Amino acid sequence: MTVADPLEIDLTGFAGVVVSPGVPLNKHPIAAKARDAGVPIIGDIELFAQARAELPPHKVVGITGTNGKSTTTALIHHIIETAGIPARLGGNIGLPILGQDPLPEGGVYVLELSSYQIDLTFGLDCDVAVLLNITPDHLDRYAGFEAYAASKARLFEMQSKGHAAVMGIADAPSAEIARQVAVSGRSEDLHKIAPGVCMDQSRWPALQGPHNAQNALAAIAACEALGIDKEAIDKGLETFPGLPHRMERVATKRGVLFVNDSKATNADSTTPALSAYPRVHWILGGLAKTDSLEACRPGFGHIVKAYTIGDAGELFASLLEGEMPVERSGTLEAAVKSAAANAQPGDTVLLSPACASFDQFKDYEARGQAFRDAVEALG
């Protein structure tokens, strides 16, 4: 094996430059160098797509969207396995797909796909492609919001006619992509998930809140497109354990429920959690992505008190004062102690930060674990 700096060598004649999705192509010099050499920049998902012809016959489900894609991906994978079908979970969740053993014939690869991964993929023809929603995020990597939405749309542009397209249409950009799929001659492939559908979620303990109703509807449509029967789908929904740090029920102490939603790193992803519980003691803050919490307003009526932490603590406290009681807690440990002391039986203490974690923690998982530890320390 020869190791060399791709920015120093002549790239002419190479089949491609494989980069991590974390490499910002709008800023990194490798993008211009590869373009000048006429060499495509690809990622691991494109390598998987190119290898599919050599794998035993299988299907691929690809899931994208700004919020909810990890839960929906894991839910689809769980339902498929509940139905007795071999499946692999990969992409932007779990182990890289290239690091896993190939499935036997009839298996299903379930891939969570970020916009960054789609940007590096050109030949992934998903048997079922899912778009949950599009809201502003990652705009430091794109020329604007329209470019970010166009990245998501490419998942469907790579599909063959006859392959299922499951699309949430609650926001205008997603609804427009659904329209584009329909007018391209694929209206029969389209399964639209409309907002506000009322469902009985009482039998799905890990799928509470209106956002999880939408996630469940998308998963149901995807699994139906794979030919999975209703009984297996129902059983999968009922037995789905949920994902760590995503509205994770940590404990119930003295009648108070403690919920870890550390994965909610922007205001849009916090809103559903606020709406899922009737009386909430809300712990929020960290490294803010924006200086607004307006996206959370639909859940304000559920909040008993807010407890702000981290770098954004002062900003968020000033935004919320006048809307609800606010305490400047500073640290997560202090916020948990105070919220637990104030909460009444039937209340929920919710960590849903609406922020990145990098001011006080190495990542959202470390923040979620710190919340668990603080709850356990309450005794």
260 and 210 assigned to the same domain: no
- pLDDT at position 140 is 77
- pLDDT at position 36 is 92
3-state SS track over 218-248: HHHHHHHHCCCCHHHHHHHHHHCCCCCCCCE
Strands 190-193 and 164-168: parallel
Please give the Cα distance from 351 to 313 (Å, whole number).
14
80 and 227 assigned to the same domain: yes
Q: What totals of helices (H) and strands (E) does the chain contain, helices first?
A: 12, 14
Model-level pTM?
A: 0.84
Please give the Cα distance from 105 to 103 (Å, whole number).
7
> Which CATH number fits the domain that encloses residue 344?
3.90.190.20
DSSP for residue 90: E
Active site residue 266: no
178 and 280 assigned to the same domain: no
- pLDDT at position 374 is 98
DSSP for residue 182: I
Of 215, 239, 263, the domain-final residue: 239
Please give the Cα distance from 61 to 290 (Å, whole number).
32
* Residue 260 annotated as part of some ligand binding site: no
Active site residue 302: no
Please give the Cα distance from 235 to 249 (Å, whole number).
20
- pLDDT at position 30 is 94
* DSSP string over 299-313: GGGGEEEEEEESTTH
- pLDDT at position 4 is 85
14 domain-assigned: no
* Residue 338 annotated as part of some ligand binding site: no
Residues pairing with 108 in the sheet: 59, 87
32 domain-assigned: no
User: Which residues are CB-neighbours of 358 under 8 A, at least 6 positions away?
Assistant: 286, 287
Helix runs in the chain, H state only: 29-36, 44-51, 69-82, 115-119, 145-157, 172-181, 210-225, 230-239, 267-276, 313-320, 332-342, 364-376
Please give the Cα distance from 184 to 340 (Å, whole number).
54
Look at the chain and report how many structural domains it folds into: 2
211 and 280 assigned to the same domain: no
- Encoded amino acid at 306, one letter: A
4 domain-assigned: no
* Residue 168 annotated as part of some ligand binding site: no
318 and 174 assigned to the same domain: no
Domain range for residue 129?
Answer: 44-239
157 and 297 assigned to the same domain: no
Q: Which two tokens stand for residue 162?
A: 């006859």
> Which CATH number fits the domain that encloses residue 207?
3.40.1190.10
* Residue 239 annotated as part of some ligand binding site: no
* Residue 67 annotated as part of some ligand binding site: yes
Which candidate in 59, 78, 92, 152 is catalytic?
Answer: 92
Residues 135/84, Cβ–Cβ less than 8 Å: no
27 domain-assigned: no
302 domain-assigned: yes
Q: Which two tokens stand for residue 259?
A: 């919920």
185 and 263 assigned to the same domain: no
138 and 265 assigned to the same domain: no
Stretches in the chain below the pLDDT threshold 50: none
* Residue 342 annotated as part of some ligand binding site: no
CA 147 distance to own-chain centroid: 19
Which candidate in 28, 138, 192, 253 is catalytic?
Answer: 138
* Residue 69 annotated as part of some ligand binding site: yes
150 and 48 assigned to the same domain: yes
191 and 261 assigned to the same domain: no
Active site residue 281: no
Three-class secondary structure of residue 269 per DSSP: helix
191 and 312 assigned to the same domain: no
160 domain-assigned: yes
Of 239, 260, 279, the domain-final residue: 239
179 domain-assigned: yes
Residues 79/89, Cβ–Cβ less than 8 Å: no
97 domain-assigned: yes
Which candidate in 33, 58, 59, 69 is catalytic?
Answer: 69
Please give the Cα distance from 233 to 18 (Å, whole number).
37
* DSSP string over 1-25: -----TTTS--TT-S-EE--TTS-T
267 and 348 assigned to the same domain: yes
pLDDT tens track for 236-248: 999 998 999 999 9
Of 218, 239, 260, the domain-final residue: 239
Phi, psi dihedrals of residue 215, rounded to the nearest 5°: -60, -45
